[in-house]
Structure 1
Amino acid sequence: MGETKHAVSRRGLLGAGGLLALGGAAGATAGYFGGTSAAGAEHRVHAEAYRGATQAGIITPAQDQLVMAAFNVTTTKRDELQALLREWSTAAEQMTGGELVGGEPEENPLAPPRDTGEAWGYDPAGLTITFGYGASLFVDAQGTDRFGLKDRMPAVLAAGVPKFPKDALQADKSDGDIVVQICGNDAQVCVHALHNLARIGFGRAALRWSQVGYGRTSSTSKSQDTPRNLFGYKDGTNNIKSEDSADELARHLWVQSGDDPAAEWLAGGTFLVARRIRMLLEIWDRQTLADQNDFMGRSKRYGAPLSVANPRNADEFVTPDFAAVGPDRQPAIPDNAHIRIVHPSMNNGVRMLRRGYNYTDGNDSLGRLSAGLFFIAFVRDPRTQFYPVLLKMTKHDALTEYLQHQASGLYAVPPGVGRTGRFPGEALFG
């Protein structure tokens, strides 16, 4: 089996011939394939199409694992930047399709392999790779037009992200020229993708920051259960879903032609907002259950809004009644409860597609968990859909006492490459 495994691509192993050849040795190769059980095989084998009108990894049903990273472009040449984006896009299409980067493995023992190999034989695991461009790709800190793209810079990026009260942002963990969101249902498949993109980019782009996430904190499909965040509450109950109408998605998610005349290349794309939010778990854990419920505005067990007097599991999706009062004649959902602050009905109806993940980065010098939420949202225009909501949170949300925003990023996410495109955002370059 050893020679056979190293002579075929990942996709080849999943083809009819490959599966037949492996059928008699399933037990011997279970570890090699990551220990996939029969019940979970479809979950892991599934491959997401890389090409399409929009990039995968946005309305794609949220996967279990995240590896997100931002790169600084180190080349000063426009043609080298374009070449890098083409090579990254080619590699992304191969990896999401279950293939090795570069196709068949390099047989020359004196040459570096074209694929780093740690996902050799692994299933695609629903891998998606989504690219976005930050303001610094267009102009540097001095306002210099780096690659002749300044005139096509979206106004949203040019305006930048406002500063919010209590921000404690770390510059080296924020921003970046190009962001790559890698999601999948196998952590090693996700890390493999970043490893290879970083290897391909050597000499033209350097890794600025990266973040590993697990346990999605939102659902992007009605077929998915609502997950829980590290405070123990169901998160993202009212999230935009892929099954929402085209009109609803156009209103809240996709940039429309005419939104920004200077950035027509972005029509059909979206904006990605990222925030690394540390959750002060040890302080939160000392609060009573009643206080925790009041801070969140939902039942911890059922996820139902506190306006439901005797909640059950089925009540999670009940519309909150913000006028309801409790036995003490006080609002059933407190005025500073999280869901009251962020609910669309309290924010001119604006919505966002959330795609965040929990993270745990060990502990700090005091022995406290360094953990929290890596918040990701896709929106048509963060100036109306995200900034006002976050500002309200920082001023009025009871949860603010238990959160610390440590990093931030804003990126323009171009539409998909389509059937014949070479890389996302190709129209940006004319």
Structure 2
Amino acid sequence: MNGKSRSNSNDGSITTGGNGESGGHGGLSRRQLLGGVGATGAAGLVLGAAGGATGYAATRPDAPTALTAVGSTQVMFHGKHQPGITTPLQACGHLLAFDLAPGAGRKEAAALMRRWSGVARRLMAGEPADGGAADGTAHDTGISLDAGPSSLTITFGFGRTFFDRTGLVDRRPPGLDPLPPFSNDRIDPKRSEGDLWVQIGADDALVAFHALRAVQKEAAGSTRLRWQMNGFNRTPGATARPMTARNLMGQIDGTGNPKPADDDFDQRVFVPATGTDARHDWLAGGSYAVVRRIRMLLDDWEKLSVERQERVIGRRKTDGSPLSGGSETTPMNLDKAGPDGRLLIPDNAHSRISSPQKNSGAAMLRRPFSYHDGIAADGTPDAGLLFICWQADPLRGFVPVQRKLDRGDALSPFIRHEASGLFAVPGGAADGEYVGQRLLDS
């Protein structure tokens, strides 16, 4: 790429520092980099010298050394879709929901989204949150000083109540109708929903925390924090080969995700620009995020033999291959039986019940974080999955699949849904725009 920084308009566009296949002294190949950060492919990978990737690192008084590929990887802020949807899984993340403060409305919301978008653009480029100042008067916390962008993404969404608070009820899309209740729900309303939702992800914990503090500081005065959840995934490059992520049950999680290369990927994940009611055209290129805090009852799960765990899921624990045979990516043969006549993938196996074949093709892009919040009051681990799934319409993605799981999933006795949220995530901001501008300035 002749050493020049480039970007494109697709969500997940990435620039890495270094010289082509490897970045800096980290020695990660392009394939290792993609594999290490998750199973979901980026919409576009651009290699070259990242213009902003070393900018913040260069604020050190001493001469900086080259960043590794992990540190210098930059995701583009501007684009057709917001970052953090098709971006490969990051090592750590924060999820936050805010409610507008009493008296705050559309004007205050627009000002906040403008500030948030500016902060997100700068931080994702590896620059200080405040943009810096020649006279030294500007102040950045310095939390991620010396680091590059580290694949940082900041994604914004609007909850159902946001439209009431801003006087935009007529612009609220039908996809934000409340999710139906499910029998396994133990939902805490204090940790659910919210006017505004923010997803932060990065491959460095300090970079992610730096973004968290910047988002919180900009929101002060016009909002009140409703809830916050913190998560993690495997660190890029921690495995000998690229592989799908594992969850805290030890299972490979995400094999059946739709892939950006699929012909119908955009149709499943993003709201179309055509055929949309004019009142909801601000959501074109956007998506809906369903967020669920799913506690895993790990003490009970870990008492099961590996064979029993595999039958609950319907896949091998070692490599994620279906019990009907083949490798991880081999399509499940749901009709195949063993010598004893029993289905190799049991009737109530999680992978069978949640498969598109059993849900009229319903699918969603799952992009979760694991979490661990210590020990719960009952003495068991308060740990599990911050489940995040993306779809063009939750009534055709999450809802039908969860209804089917609710009726007999073998995994149900080992999990508990404790928090829930549904958010409309606008399309990406064009250069010079802020996220949500087409709604709030209309």
TM-score category by the smaller chain?
0.7 to 0.9
Structure 1 position 367, deviation (Å): 2.6
Deviations 1:268-321 (A, max 9, x none): 11101100000000001111222111100011112111111xx6xxx1111110
Q: Which residue of 1 aligns with 2:37?
A: none
Alignment partner for residue 320 of structure 1, among 332, 357, 361? 332
Larger helix share, 1 or 2 = 1
Alignment partner for residue 231 of structure 1, among 242, 249, 257? 249
Is residue 2:96 matched to residue 1:69?
yes
Is residue 2:293 matched to residue 1:282?
no
Structure 1 residues 375 and 413: alpha-carbon distance in aligned structure 2, compared to 1, 3 A threshold = same
State the alpha-carbon separation in 1 of the partners of residues 361 and 53 from structure 2: 45
Structure 1 residues 19 and 380: alpha-carbon distance in aligned structure 2, compared to 1, 3 A threshold = farther
Is residue 2:151 matched to residue 1:126?
yes
Asked if the contact 2:97–2:194 (Cα under 8 Å) also holds between the matched residues in 1, the reply is: yes
Amino acid at match of 1:331: L
Q: Which residue of 1 aligns with 2:323?
A: 306
- Identity rate of aligned residues, in percent? 39
Structure 1 position 10, deviation (Å): 7.7
Structure 1 position 216, deviation (Å): 6.0
Structure 1 position 19, deviation (Å): 12
Amino acid at match of 1:117: G
State the alpha-carbon separation in 2 of the partners of residues 211 and 405 from structure 1: 14
The within-5 A match list for 1:289-300 is 289-300=306-317
The within-5 A match list for 1:1-40 is 11-13=54-56, 21-23=63-65
State the alpha-carbon separation in 1 of the partners of residues 279 and 182 from structure 2: 28
Amino acid at match of 1:131: F
Alignment partner for residue 93 of structure 1, among 121, 127, 145? 121
Asked if the contact 1:269–1:415 (Cα under 8 Å) also holds between the matched residues in 2, the reply is: yes
Amino acid at match of 2:126: G
The within-5 A match list for 1:198-209 is 198-209=216-227
CA-based RMSD of the aligned residues comes to: 2.3
State the alpha-carbon separation in 2 of the partners of residues 95 and 268 from structure 1: 23
State the alpha-carbon separation in 1 of the partners of residues 94 and 222 from structure 2: 21
Structure 1 position 161, deviation (Å): 1.1
Amino acid at match of 1:129: I
Asked if the contact 1:13–1:19 (Cα under 8 Å) also holds between the matched residues in 2, the reply is: no
Structure 1 position 337, deviation (Å): 0.3
Is residue 2:308 matched to residue 1:255?
no
Q: Which has the larger radius of gyration?
A: 1
Q: Which residue of 1 aligns with 2:162?
A: 137
Structure 1 position 104, deviation (Å): 1.7
Is residue 2:212 matched to residue 1:194?
yes
Asked if the contact 1:216–1:356 (Cα under 8 Å) also holds between the matched residues in 2, the reply is: no
Asked if the contact 2:150–2:202 (Cα under 8 Å) also holds between the matched residues in 1, the reply is: yes
State the alpha-carbon separation in 2 of the partners of residues 199 and 411 from structure 1: 22
Q: Which residue of 1 aligns with 2:388?
A: 376
Structure 2 unpaired stretches of 5+: 1-51, 236-240
State the alpha-carbon separation in 1 of the partners of residues 285 and 260 from structure 2: 15
Q: Which residue of 2 aligns with 1:424?
A: 435
Q: Which residue of 2 aligns with 1:30?
A: none
Asked if the contact 1:307–1:320 (Cα under 8 Å) also holds between the matched residues in 2, the reply is: yes
State the alpha-carbon separation in 2 of the partners of residues 19 and 322 from structure 1: 61
Q: Which residue of 1 aligns with 2:341?
A: 329
State the alpha-carbon separation in 2 of the partners of residues 260 and 154 from structure 1: 9
State the alpha-carbon separation in 2 of the partners of residues 356 and 216 from structure 1: 12
Deviations 1:94-147 (A, max 9, x none): 111111112226977xx8x642221122211010001000001012xxxxxx32
Q: Which residue of 2 aligns with 1:396?
A: 408
Structure 1 position 168, deviation (Å): 0.4
Structure 1 residues 53 and 10: alpha-carbon distance in aligned structure 2, compared to 1, 3 A threshold = closer
Asked if the contact 1:155–1:260 (Cα under 8 Å) also holds between the matched residues in 2, the reply is: no
TM-score by length of 1: 0.84
Amino acid at match of 1:21: A
Is residue 2:289 matched to residue 1:269?
no
Is residue 2:95 matched to residue 1:84?
no
Structure 1 position 13, deviation (Å): 4.8
TM-score by length of 2: 0.82
Structure 1 unpaired stretches of 5+: 1-8, 27-35, 140-145, 218-222
Which secondary structure state, in structure 1, belongs to the residue aligned with residue 411 of structure 2? Answer: helix
The within-5 A match list for 1:329-348 is 329-348=341-360
Amino acid at match of 2:268: H
Amino acid at match of 2:426: P
State the alpha-carbon separation in 1 of the partners of residues 277 and 418 from structure 2: 30
